[in-house]
Amino acid sequence: MDLFFLPPVHILLLLCLVAFVAGYFDAMAGGSGLITLPALLLAGLPAQFALGTNKLQSNFGSMTSSIVYWRHGLIYRQTRLWMFPIAFAASFTGCYTVLHIDPVDMSKIIAVALVIIAGYFLLHKDKVETAVEPEFPVAAMILAPLIIGFYDGFLGPGTGSFLIFIMLHFFKMDYIHSAANGKFINWGSNLGAVTGFLIFNKVYILLGLCMGVFMFAGARLGSWTAIRHGSRVIKPLVVTVSLLMVAKLLFQN
């Protein structure tokens, strides 16, 4: 396989537009794979190359939004020093595993989990959008990035929504800090997964870089939108992304 493969120009432009839109929404609520992965498969990429290329371009989005959130002082030290490296290592392990065995069909379990998350966000009382000192239980700081990181490298659907839910519920963060710290952990898991896909030559590098530029632009705009509007955009987007993911998982089965 030519690792520097590019599709015809009109398909490439469509994929780049898809990456921009995905980056915008992913910065606030996760779910970029809901848009970009089906697009890559429809473009004719083999499944493992679609997964690897998707992880490469999604790194641009998670990195960009993470940096924007960091510059605005929204990323906690515990997230940077503990959860990011754990997510990286766990995701690399998940990627290595999925490249050597067929993943188990967990779509129904994931769908139920996403329905629960959507319900939680619909019923959850909004906190005042001010910086509140969160809680950082040691067990949660280890287990959350370990489990979600492995899951992201192994399967991945709903990772962004799961992380925002975890930050909000288990670490007692408000919406904007949940989105920011969840996205930072997601950057770690994306980086771990793409490292694995690159080692095993399962990435169309040039295509991933082209889409990544547009993902970068979308993520930057999306993270600014989240910082400006907080829970007014994050909450409904997480609910929408979760339910769309449920529909996709059930439809494909």
* pLDDT per position as a tens digit, 17-58: 999 999 999 888 887 887 888 889 889 888 889 889 999 999
Instruction: Identify whether the C-beta of residue 38 lies closer than 8 Å to the C-beta of residue 44.
Output: no
Residue with tokens 């080692």: 199
Average confidence (pLDDT) over 234-243 = 83
- 251 backbone φψ class: left, alpha, beta (φ>0; ψ -120 to 50): alpha
| 3 state SS of 71 | helix
Give the pLDDT confidence score for residue 2 in this predicted structure.
Answer: 66
Instruction: Identify whether the C-beta of residue 52 lies closer than 8 Å to the C-beta of residue 91.
Output: no
Q: CB neighbours (10 Å) of residue 105?
A: 11
5-14, 45-54, 68-77, 231-240: lowest mean pLDDT where?
A: 231-240
Residue in 21, 27, 18, 23 with CA at minimum distance from that of residue 228:
27
76-103 b/e with 16+ CB inside 10 Å = b? Answer: beebbebbbebbbbbbbbbbbebbeeee
* pLDDT per position as a tens digit, 161-210: 889 999 998 999 998 999 999 999 999 999 999 999 999 999 999 999 99
- 91 backbone φψ class: left, alpha, beta (φ>0; ψ -120 to 50): alpha
Q: In the predicted model, is pLDDT for residue 71 greater than 90?
A: yes
